[in-house]
Chain A
């Protein structure tokens, strides 16, 4: 028979004995510099104790991934400190044995083996910790969803000395389910409407509230112990469904910190369970290697003084036969080591105009700097002005004009990046001059790599992706990609439901199941500049896995403008699930958007797209991204369209987060490729945009002022 009090006492004694024995055996080591250490994260992936949140915030820009498990529940969370005070989390959780304890006729019994949920959190740091004040945060947990797991909290954390950290707070919603001590009004039931997925603002901080608390003790710089009192009763999971036994509100844990970035923990939870947690934190502002890797640049070429060697300054070299070819081939040799390719090259006696393609260096200013050094080694002494135009997909993205004398004088000067920036002019690239290009670049490129295609959480296919592209001329590229499935565990879409809208996205599973070999993309893409500051694109073919047709785009973006405006018009047909035809769906649609892009500064980018989506619905998408100087980018978006919540289906509207990580960040050597992922709560048919690659905004902005100025510190690198 259950003696709850006895069990709680035993759990408490066990926990304390555990702690004290550990303390005795692990004592030792230097007291850590607490201020330097990253806050530890809870099972919910936010700064916290064990299952409860704490009042601290991570350092601005930090990204954390946490995976935790206990009592049949698995949680994995991605948390991003969006600003110094605001952080957001995206959590995926899965609870096993969901219906095991229920009888077949029970109204709660929905027949699923396990229950998966996605949740979004938001936290706001109200007070930073000072000598006298604690750190204070308010948080919304699972605030966009069904609402039954939603919680809000106010929590404070204070450090005492170098080792002790104390947390105490009040929770509402789920965090008030155990031993509430009062109430702020009545918590209205969630208005799920037809389909949930909307912020449950009418509930926030209303209803009963309960206290929770925790302590963390730093044993030495690697080991710490934690204890907490939890106000989450797990009414459904432990109560109705008996997935685990919540015998006590006390949790205890032992954590090991390996390097700044990793923490591992083992815990005793709720008097009955053992749990584990792994926390990974990453600071995108810092480079893993401590700095930018890659070989040192060549020295700036020095010209002899006019008095010592006046002939070197003579301008007669222009008339020499073969001068152009010789200069171009010397230049190509110098630039090749950095992966820079001469697209066009012309000159007068005093000025050289170089249009260069950057295939390798992740930073525009560094590529400009390397190109300038190469010009200083190759061009005769009379050439004083360098005009360097970085070219992307055949379009000149901007023009950097600098004087050779400035290069020579500033090469080893203190703070020479700032000094050079004051002397260069960055403007729009002019029209293409008829010069000599480098015909030796590789027009045909191909790649073969293993790829993972995920269709459902923990279900997907492993295979090979073969891609190839042929550049007919700069700005005109024929390319394709094929995925060959080798193995996988996605055999049937168990949870696909019919859609009230044309199934432009919700049938994705059918495409993944349709055949082992799939032609992901086969297209011809054209890029060009229609006028100064006006870029154009047209892409035709099998543009993506589900749709094929024509996509056209125009972008107006001056080099020095925070605002850019674009318009995109597409006409596509939905592809068959297994081949080249269009008969399965017989669905053609004209879609398009007018877009406004705004660089808010500090790396924050906003975008508003208004138009018509694939299912024929009209509406708007608002996105906000944060980009770091090294290219890591995190963002979130939401789309509202004329597709009603009922038509959209579960989730009510499309929202998600997206992440881009440049490959050079991982490899530590120069590389321009990037890895991107979009994580959505659900993939339904409302608010669906055509996934055509190579859209103009991201293509040209690397060489415009917003990014160039932020990365200018690398020009002499």
Chain B
């Protein structure tokens, strides 16, 4: 009878047993590697800290600088389109960020994107009233995931921001949001009624992004 299930041939020009295992090996390892890469392959990396205001003004359009440390992103954005109160800004690398009056509601192209959001207005944030936020993501199984938060904001006083050689006087406001099992915070630097800078939550895997309105 032979030694039980002894060595037998597996047929298969196209069926790759070992390669399947190899493939899965690569896939599992990829998880670790890809989480360290930025959302998109980049254009040439320019050090945005050492660019001059004149160079930025030469573009002739409004410029927003977006930094997302968790994804290694640091790019310049310019407005692409407007729909109702929403403005979408776009980077050369292909990401887009959509704001409603300066409050982030949507990103695309990052990978761990914010798919949509229900957000308070800047007036509500600045006034310090209690507000609600909802964030919508697609992660596990590409399914819609919703997280609701209750938020309050607190004024931190005046702050002077230096943006590419120009000084701006701003009111710094911190918004703290919490839900059962988590909390996050967003920060806003208001110049008059509009935003000069903000640090806003994007998604659990992307963390927060810092948005600096450089050229108006």
List residues of chain A with CB under 8 Å of any chain B CB. 63, 65, 76, 78, 98, 110, 112, 114-118, 145-146, 148, 192, 196-197, 258-262, 280-283, 285-297, 299-300, 302, 363, 408, 411-418, 452-458, 460, 483, 493-496, 505-506, 508-509, 511-512, 518, 520, 545, 603, 628-630, 650-651, 659, 661, 665-666, 668, 675-683, 691, 710-711, 713-714, 716-717
Contacts and interface: CB of A to CB of B under 8 A. Distances in A.
Given A509-B9, A714-B138, 5 more contacts: A63-B24, A117-B5, A286-B31, A415-B136, A603-B141
Contact of A717 (B23, B81, B115): B115
Contacts of B10: 454-457, 679-680, 682-683
Given A285-B141, A545-B13, A452 B19 contact: yes
Interface stretch (B32-40, B55-63, B152-160): B32-40
Contacts of A508: 9, 11-12
A656 to B, nearest CB: 10
A110 B4 CA distance: 10
A358 B77 CA distance: 30
Contacts of B12: 453-455, 508, 678, 683
B144 interface: yes
B151 interface: no
B4 A282 contact: no
A595 B34 CA distance: 41
Given A286-B139, A713-B144, A196 B9 contact: no
Nearest to B33: A288
13 contacts: A260-B31, A261-B31, A282-B28, A283-B31, A285-B141, A291-B111, A296-B96, A299-B83, A415-B136, A456-B7, A457-B7, A681-B5, A716-B116
B13 A518 contact: yes
Interface string B1-27: 111111111111111111111011111
B2 A412 contact: no
A413 B116 contact: yes
A287 B141 CA distance: 9
- State the majority secondary structure of interface residues on B: mixed
Interface residues on B, range: 35 or more
Given A261-B29, A678-B15, A717 B2 contact: no
Contact of B27 (A148, A288, A453, A716): A288
Contacts of A296: 90, 94-96, 108-109
B81 A299 contact: yes
A458 B16 CA distance: 11
A175 to B, nearest CB: 18
A495 B7 contact: yes
B11 A363 contact: no
Nearest to B1: A192
Contacts of A716: 115-116
Contacts of B105: 412, 414
A110 B84 CA distance: 80
Given A288-B35, A454-B16, A115 B6 contact: yes
A148 B110 CA distance: 53
Contacts of B19: 452, 454, 677
A145 B4 contact: yes
Contact of A116 (B6, B113, B146, B203): B6
Contacts of A661: 23-24, 27
B205 interface: yes
A666 B27 CA distance: 6
B82 to A, nearest CB: 8
B6 A112 contact: yes
B13 A418 contact: no
A628 B5 contact: no
Contacts of B142: 292, 363, 629-630, 710-711, 713-714
Contact of B21 (A78, A192, A300, A512): A78
A290 B35 contact: yes
Interface of B: 1-21, 23-32, 34-35, 37, 39-40, 80-81, 83-84, 86, 88, 90, 94-96, 98, 100, 105-106, 108-113, 115-118, 134, 136, 138-144, 146, 203, 205-206
Nearest to B97: A296
B23 A505 contact: no
Contacts of B24: 63, 65, 78, 280, 282, 659, 661
B3 A629 contact: no
B32 A260 contact: yes
B23 A679 contact: no
A716 B84 CA distance: 18
A272 B161 CA distance: 68
A713 B136 CA distance: 10
A413 B139 CA distance: 19
A683 B108 contact: no
Interface hub of B14, B15, B18, B34 (most chain A Cβ within 10 A): B14
A300 to B, nearest CB: 7
B140 A285 contact: yes
Nearest to B203: A291
Contact of B18 (A458, A651, A683): A458
A509 B8 CA distance: 10
A417 to B, nearest CB: 6
Given A292-B111, A457-B17, A286 B140 contact: yes
Nearest to A119: B5
3 closest pairs, A vs B, by CB?
A508-B11, A259-B32, A296-B108
A291 B113 contact: yes
A168 B34 CA distance: 38
A417 B27 contact: no
Nearest to A99: B3
Given A115-B6, A296-B94, A280 B144 contact: no
Contact of A288 (B1, B23, B30): B30
B7 A112 contact: yes
Nearest to B10: A683
A146 B5 contact: yes
Contacts of A506: 9
A240 to B, nearest CB: 13
Nearest to B3: A110
B17 A288 contact: no
A455 B96 CA distance: 49
Interface hub of B4, B23, B29 (most chain A Cβ within 10 A): B4
Nearest to B96: A296
Contact of B13 (A114, A118, A285, A512): A512
A716 to B, nearest CB: 7
Interface hub of A76, A292, A511, A676 (most chain B Cβ within 10 A): A292
Interface hub of B11, B18, B27 (most chain A Cβ within 10 A): B11
B1 to A, nearest CB: 7
Nearest to B136: A415
A285 B142 CA distance: 8
Contact of B143 (A453, A545, A713): A713
Contacts of B2: 110, 650
B83 A300 contact: yes
A497 to B, nearest CB: 8
A679 B17 contact: yes
Contacts of A711: 142
B115 to A, nearest CB: 7
Contacts of B11: 455, 505, 508-509, 512, 683
A454 B108 CA distance: 42
Contacts of A691: 14
A603 B141 CA distance: 10
A148 B4 contact: yes
A454 B17 contact: yes
Contacts of A455: 9-12
A456 B15 CA distance: 12
A290 B206 contact: yes
Contacts of A710: 141-143
A291 B15 contact: no
Contact of A418 (B81, B111, B144): B144
A677 B17 contact: yes
A283 B98 CA distance: 30
B141 A146 contact: no
B23 A291 contact: no
A682 B8 contact: yes
